[in-house]
Structure 1
Amino acid sequence: MKQLYEDLWISTPEFPPGERDPEVMMHGFLLKLSRGNVLISRVEDHEDHNIISDLGGIFRHYLTHWHEAGPGARLLQQRFNSALYCHNRALGPVSSFAEADDTFNQAEVHCGSLHVVPTPGHTPGSTTYLYASPYGKTYLFVGDTISLSHQRWVTVLVPESNEADLKKTLEFYRALRPDVVLMGTTKGHLSWQEVTMREWLALLDEAENSPLDLRQRPGE
């Protein structure tokens, strides 16, 4: 894992097996809260699990959507006795890998400072996490709702995506003022980006106008 800020780490890049595009990579993020460490998104690398242990472990693991579920989720639960959280509409697929300890279906504030906001569109259970760090920056964890594909901001459409819901989510994003955008999956680029307000609004416009449509693969 690599430290990005005083209270935030990013995992080793993961290149999921079976992907046709070798440049697709996934990341997870360890965030230090006053109550302890939480993990957001997916961390499968066992060496990263050891580093998480060195950093004090985790007491909660949050998924932004079910595509982040994998064998590592259960291993983390067992090793750190941590609670796994996801949207209730992601529960079925997540359960194939690990048993969720709790779910949510509306905006909530967890641990006194972590904003949990359902943002459907990419998947029905997609969720965004917003955190104003005491060190001065506001982090926005968007999962795969928006992403970078070779320097181009995109939305990501999969068979279960809903374009109307995604449009509403992007409108909601425009009311936010993050300093750092953190993504679960990207292609050919790191999974985080510092932004100004002007850059944030511009990248949302670019993403909305640049859908990466994976609903039908070549040959299907």
Structure 2
Amino acid sequence: MKQLYEDLWICTPEANANKIEPELMMHGFLLQHLRGNILISRADNPLDHDAIADSGGIIRHYLTHWHEAGPATRQLQQRFNSALYCHARALGHVSRYAEPDATFTKAEVHCGSFHVVPTPGHTPGSTSYLYASPYGKTYLFVGDTVTLSHHRWMTIRAAESNEHDLHQTLNFYRALRPDVIMMSSTVGHPGWQEVDLRQWLALLGEAEHNPRDLCLSQASNDGG
């Protein structure tokens, strides 16, 4: 686990060893909140679990979309007695691994300052999290809605993606003013990126015009 800012750490990247994207890395983030530590996305490495324990554990674990759920989700829930949160439309998939303690369907503010914002498109239950750190930077956790692949911004489309919803989400993002973008997966790039307003608007435009269709990638990989 690596410290990025005074109150934010990134988990050990998880390599996705497949022929489609051999350099694909998946990321999770530990946020030190005044009310207790919060985990966003995923943390599958047992050494990270020990580091979380050394930092005081976690009180809550938020998933940006159901693709992040896995065996470690239940392990974290049991070890730290932490509350698991996801969008209601991700519940069925997430429950295969762990039973969420609570779901949401609309924008909410948790713990007094942690903004939960449904941002459908990549999946119906995709959710972003916005947090204005008391140390000065505003963090936006975007999941897999936008990502970096070898310094190129793009959106990721899966079987359950909805192009109309994704377009609306990107327009919503344009009204936000984050300082740091936290991504749940990247290709050949770390899981975070500092931005100013000009860079933020430019990367959203680039991502919108560069969709990556995972279904087509899979078909090509299979020879179909």
Q: Same fold (TM over 0.5)?
A: yes
Q: Which amino acid aligns with 1:124?
A: P
Q: CA deviation at 1:215?
A: 2.2
Aligned residues: percent identity?
A: 70
1:103-147: CA deviations, max 9, x gaps? Answer: 000000000000000000000000000000000000000000000
Indicate conservation of the 8 Å contact 2:40/2:62, yes or no.
Answer: yes
- Please give the alpha-carbon distance, in whole angstroms, between the structure 2 residues aligned to 1:90 and 1:9: 25
State the secondary structure of the residue aligned to 1:74: helix
Partner residue in 1 for 2:162: 162
Q: Secondary structure at the match of 1:99?
A: coil
List per-residue Cα deviations over 1:7-34 (Å, max 9, x = no partner).
0000001013446321000010000111
- Work out the CA distance in 2 between the residues paired with 1:19 and 1:60: 34
TM-score (norm 1): 0.98
The C-alpha deviation readout for 1:45-68, integer Å capped at 9, x for no partner, is 000000000111001000000000
Give the corresponding residue for 1:36. Answer: 36
Q: Distance in 2 between matches of 1:51 and 1:19?
A: 31
Secondary structure of the 2:120 match is coil
| SS of residue matched to 1:122 | coil
Residue identity matched to 2:54: D
Cα–Cα, structure 1 residues 114 and 19, in superposed 2: closer, same or farther, change >3 Å?
Answer: farther
* Equivalent position of 1:180 in the other structure: 180
Distance 1:136 1:158 in 2: 35
For 1:215, what is the secondary structure of its paired residue? helix
User: 2-side partners of 1:163 and 1:19: how far apart?
Assistant: 26
Amino acid at match of 2:183: M
SS at structure 2 position matched to 1:58: coil
Instruction: Give the drift of 1:205.
Output: 0.4
1:190 matched residue in structure 2: 190
Hey, which bits of structure 1, 4+ residues long, moved more than 6 A? none
> Aligned residues, how many?
220
Aligned residue for 2:107? Answer: 107
Question: 1:128-147, aligned counterparts within 5 Å?
Answer: 128-147=128-147
Cα RMSD (Å): 0.8
Distance 1:100 1:18, change over 3 A: farther
Q: Counterpart amino acid of 1:54?
A: D
Equivalent residue number for residue 78 of structure 1: 78
What amino acid maps onto 1:3 in structure 2? Answer: Q
Counterparts in 2 of 1:123 and 1:19: CA distance versus 1, 3 Å: farther
Distance in 1 separating the partners of 2:26 and 2:54: 22
* CA distance in 1 between partners of 2:215 and 2:20 (Å): 14
- The alignment's TM-score, normalised by the length of structure 2, stands at 0.97
Gaps of 5+ in 2: none
